Amino acid sequence: MGRLFDARLGANESAFGPSPRAVAAMQAAAADAWKYGDPTNHDLKTALAAHHGVTPAHITVGEGIDGLLGTLVRLLAEPGASVVTSDGAYPTFNYHVAGFGASLTKVPYRDDCEDLPALISAARDSGARLIYFANPDNPMGTWARAADIEAALDTLPSGCLLCLDEAYVEFAPSDAVPQIAADDPRVIRMRTFSKAHGMAGARVGYAIGAPGLITSFDKVRNHFGVSRVAQAGALAALGDADWLDHVRAATAEARARIAALAAPHGLVALPSATNFVTLDCGRDEAYAKAILAQLVARGIFVRMPFVAPQSRCIRVSAGRPADLDAFARVLPEAIAAAQSGA
Amino acid sequence: MGRLFDARLGANESAFGPSPRAVAAMQAAAADAWKYGDPTNHDLKTALAAHHGVTPAHITVGEGIDGLLGTLVRLLAEPGASVVTSDGAYPTFNYHVAGFGASLTKVPYRDDCEDLPALISAARDSGARLIYFANPDNPMGTWARAADIEAALDTLPSGCLLCLDEAYVEFAPSDAVPQIAADDPRVIRMRTFSKAHGMAGARVGYAIGAPGLITSFDKVRNHFGVSRVAQAGALAALGDADWLDHVRAATAEARARIAALAAPHGLVALPSATNFVTLDCGRDEAYAKAILAQLVARGIFVRMPFVAPQSRCIRVSAGRPADLDAFARVLPEAIAAAQSGA
């Protein structure tokens, strides 16, 4: 539209920003950017291993979860292979599957949640080598209980890997985070510095899994793909637990405010374990699309699920007070315009 | 070895650093790192297009030439396909070819130069879809003449793409830079901000080619792979021609000094169109390896070609005066130790 948005509430970025320590580390690294970064990501992997109580051999670092998913799909989803995901879940996973030529089975959400038993059942039926399962989920913000995930692992077909995308896990209640041994060959967990750590623009994520699987990443990944700046920032971010607490608290406040702002207009906030709120607009996709278009036309960048029935909703990222002030200012008009078909 | 090197002269980084404007741009972007970078790299592509007198549709931006080579190989070098390179040329290209399963034909260097007619001839014989050709060459620093490259294009077998890796082109004499129409479907050129622009740690490179080929990158690449910080830095670096001139001049001075330091020890500098000097040690690989080991043991990080007969040489990056002072200090001892078999 040729103008900047008044509020970026569409990409689930953390408007609260990175830790000041991460910013300082990235700025120092920028001056040293003539040096290649460490292709083994040694220092970051070592710190991540200590943080998670695993060894560096359990961790691979990549260019965000997008990059890691690309490598994982490449390793497992050759033409003829079968892969399972939820219908309406992360499209970049589907993009990689299409790119590498495997066939993709999509399982419906159940009650706005990814349905792990149904995913596993579909994997069994299709002989799938890989299941994509995000917990908490994007774009709905919902989550599965840890105990249910842990129990479901025992029903995974042999030779089928569960990719557990935990991009939003730092925002989730503790009973949404399953206990899975890092050596468990049935699961690979994906984490990122893009969300709670506020470093979406730096491109750094990591996967935790059994060393045999993790080693296979080294056979095909772009070894210099994670920049020196990103490595330095991630390392500093990981060491700043106070900042993470601050972001979590600010995010929870923002979620509550989004829900409160939306309710008078008949938009119902789904429970969220993420840094966004998915608002059930109460009608069909056309109505949700109309609200979204009216918000975007008024300078508020939001997005929405792209598959029915989830597409009756819009998705609003947890912004700063000023971002939500802007959202609050235009929401009544946007709703009125959507209702009048303007 | 558990200690820092006194001089990093092994990876052909630009110790002269990025443009101060690029550093400032990266530092500003670091504070904004909570925002995703532009997945289309719009501003950078537009500036690159203007710089090269082409359109943005002729350019794709990626995570360094390494990332771009990975994507190119993925697009062209499926199992069963044939690919050609020089024996001893960039190993990361070979790594990607192995990873995607094509077969690789290696052509010997001729007089320490990549031999384009022989590469093309091998491509014809093997029905290759892709030739890798670096000009200037790494690890030898030598170059082909523009007119010879231009003439060779007409002998390329139909359906075979020439990947022209110009990572070092900013250091090359103008008669090493072929004139090739950006619409020419026979060639894709790779450029980088890692060398003359001093941004190896930022991870940003680009390819110039015919729009049909460039579009195909968008079908498989990691769209968010290039960080916001790297995009901002590259854009600023591109705008600082004075800094590039400064780096070129400082690099030329460093090359001359490396040659002068080495000559008294019987190490002969090959002509270089890059930011490194390849020194012919005058004997076999074992002798070159011994010199390299003695330099490394004395805190000077250098590398060497890994295939005979090029492996009679060591490769020394153009460092700052202090780096070369350190090199100068230890070189006599290192040579003496290598000669005595210590």
Residue reference for tokens 């990572």:
B167
Question: Closest residue of A to B15, CA-based?
Answer: A34
Same domain, B251 and B302: yes
Report the distance separating Cα A131 and Cα A190, nearest Å.
Answer: 13
Q: Is residue B1 part of a domain?
A: no
Nearest to A286 by CA among A305, A310, A312, A324: A312
What's the pLDDT score for residue A323? 97
Q: Write down the mean pLDDT value for chain B.
A: 97
Q: Is residue A123 part of a domain?
A: yes
Question: What percentage of residues in chain B have a pLDDT greater than 70?
Answer: 99
Give the end of a domain, one of A239, A267, A290. Answer: A239
- Per-residue model confidence as pLDDT tens digits over B186-238: 999 999 999 999 999 999 999 999 999 999 999 999 999 999 999 999 999 99
Residues 6+ apart with CB under 8 A from B264: none
Question: Closest residue of B to A198, CA-based?
Answer: B34
- Res. A1 pLDDT band, cuts 50 70 90: low
- For residue A218, CA distances in Å to A57, A58, A62, A82, A335 come to 11, 12, 10, 23, 50
Considering only CB atoms, which chain B residues are within 8 Å of A33?
17-18, 22-23, 26, 198-202, 233
Report the distance separating Cα A119 and Cα A105, nearest Å.
Answer: 9
Question: Closest residue of A to B217, CA-based?
Answer: A99
Same domain, B51 and B184: yes
Give the end of a domain, one of B182, B204, B239. Answer: B239
- Per-residue model confidence as pLDDT tens digits over B270-321: 999 999 999 999 999 999 999 999 999 999 999 999 999 999 999 999 999 9
User: Residue A130's beta-bridge partner residues?
Assistant: A83, A161
Residue A292: pLDDT over 90: yes
What's the pLDDT score for residue B8? 94
B127: exposed, middle or buried (Cβ count in 10 Å: 0-12, 13-18, 19+): exposed
Question: Closest residue of B to A17, CA-based?
Answer: B34
- Distance from A151 to chain B by nearest Cα, in Å? 34
What's the pLDDT score for residue A2? 60
Mutate to test the interface with B, among A95, A229, A231 (most CBs of B within 10 A): A229
Residue reference for tokens 């900013």:
B170
Distance of CA A162 to the CA centre of its chain: 16
Q: Are A33 and B18 inside 8 Å of each other by CB?
A: yes
- At B16, list the tokens: 């002269």
- Distance from B218 to chain A by nearest Cα, in Å? 11
- For residue B224, CA distances in Å to A315, B70, B221, B242 come to 21, 16, 9, 30
Give the end of a domain, one of A188, A218, A239. Answer: A239
Q: Which of A34, A36, A222 is opposite residue B67, by nearest beta carbon?
A: A222
Residue B1: pLDDT over 70: no
Q: Is residue A299 part of a domain?
A: yes
Q: Are B184 and B164 in contact (CB under 8 A)?
A: no
- Distance from B322 to chain A by nearest Cα, in Å? 16
Report the distance separating Cα B178 and Cα B164, nearest Å.
Answer: 10
Nearest to B287 by CA among B341, B223, B220, B218: B341
Crossing angle for the helix pair A228-238 and B228-238, to the nearest 10 degrees: 140
Considering only CB atoms, which chain B residues are within 8 Å of A200?
33-36, 228
- Per-residue model confidence as pLDDT tens digits over B243-253: 999 999 999 99
Question: Closest residue of B to A228, CA-based?
Answer: B201
Provide the number of CB pairs (under 8 Å) joining chain A to chain B.
159
Q: What is the mean pLDDT of residues B128-156?
A: 98
Residue A96: pLDDT over 80: yes
Rg (CA), chain A: 20
Same domain, B210 and B295: no
Q: What backbone torsions phi and psi does residue B153 show, to the nearest 5 degrees?
A: -55, -35
Q: Which of B15, B23, B99 is opposite residue A30, by nearest beta carbon?
A: B23
Residues 6+ apart with CB under 8 A from B336: none
Q: Which of A13, A27, A35 is opposite residue B30, by nearest beta carbon?
A: A27
Same domain, A114 and A181: yes
- Per-residue model confidence as pLDDT tens digits over B38-68: 999 999 999 999 999 999 999 999 999 999 9
Considering only CB atoms, which chain A residues are within 8 Å of B199?
33-34
CATH code for the domain of A311: 3.90.1150.10
Report the distance separating Cα A333 and Cα B197, nearest Å.
Answer: 49
Same domain, B251 and B304: yes
What's the pLDDT score for residue B141? 98
Q: Are A14 and B22 inside 8 Å of each other by CB?
A: no
- Res. B342 pLDDT band, cuts 50 70 90: low
Same domain, A168 and A84: yes
Question: Closest residue of B to A78, CA-based?
Answer: B100
Considering only CB atoms, which chain A residues are within 8 Å of B246?
none
Mutate to test the interface with A, among B222, B224, B247 (most CBs of A within 10 A): B222
Q: Are B23 and A33 inside 8 Å of each other by CB?
A: yes
Nearest to B314 by CA among B267, B274, B279, B271: B279
Number of domains in chain A: 2
Q: Is residue A2 part of a domain?
A: no
What's the pLDDT score for residue A342? 62
Q: What is the mean pLDDT of residues B71-87?
A: 97
- Res. A4 pLDDT band, cuts 50 70 90: confident
Q: Name the maximum alpha-carbon separation found in chain A.
A: 58
Same domain, A185 and A171: yes
Same domain, B234 and B270: no
Residues 6+ apart with CB under 8 A from B129: B76, B77, B81, B82, B83, B159, B160, B161
Question: Closest residue of A to B98, CA-based?
Answer: A220
Q: Are B30 and A220 inside 8 Å of each other by CB?
A: no
Considering only CB atoms, which chain A residues are within 8 Å of B30?
18, 23, 26-27, 30, 202, 229, 233
- Per-residue model confidence as pLDDT tens digits over A12-50: 999 999 999 999 999 999 999 999 999 999 999 999 999
Question: Closest residue of B to A33, CA-based?
Answer: B201
CATH code for the domain of A190: 3.40.640.10
Q: Are A66 and B223 inside 8 Å of each other by CB?
A: yes
Q: Which of B15, B67, B199 is opposite residue A225, by nearest beta carbon?
A: B67
CA atoms within 13 A on the CB side of B212: 6
Residue B2: pLDDT over 70: no
Same domain, A114 and A250: no
Same domain, B46 and B149: yes
Q: Are B118 and B107 in contact (CB under 8 A)?
A: yes
Residues 6+ apart with CB under 8 A from B260: none
- Per-residue model confidence as pLDDT tens digits over A147-162: 999 999 999 999 999 9
Q: Which of A201, A223, A224 is opposite residue B36, by nearest beta carbon?
A: A201
Q: Are A36 and B226 inside 8 Å of each other by CB?
A: no
Same domain, B207 and B87: yes
Q: What is the mean pLDDT of residues A243-258?
A: 98
- Per-residue model confidence as pLDDT tens digits over B309-325: 999 999 999 999 999 99
Show the domain range for A60: 20-239
- Distance from A294 to chain B by nearest Cα, in Å? 23
Q: Write down the mean pLDDT value for chain A.
A: 97
Q: Are A201 and B17 inside 8 Å of each other by CB?
A: no
Same domain, A265 and A213: no
User: Buried (b) or exposed (e) across B131-168, using 16+ Cβ within 10 A?
Assistant: bbbbbbbbbbbbbbebeebeebbeebbeebbbbbbbbb
- Per-residue model confidence as pLDDT tens digits over A307-342: 999 999 999 999 999 999 999 999 999 999 999 986
Q: Is residue B2 part of a domain?
A: no
Q: Are A70 and B222 inside 8 Å of each other by CB?
A: yes
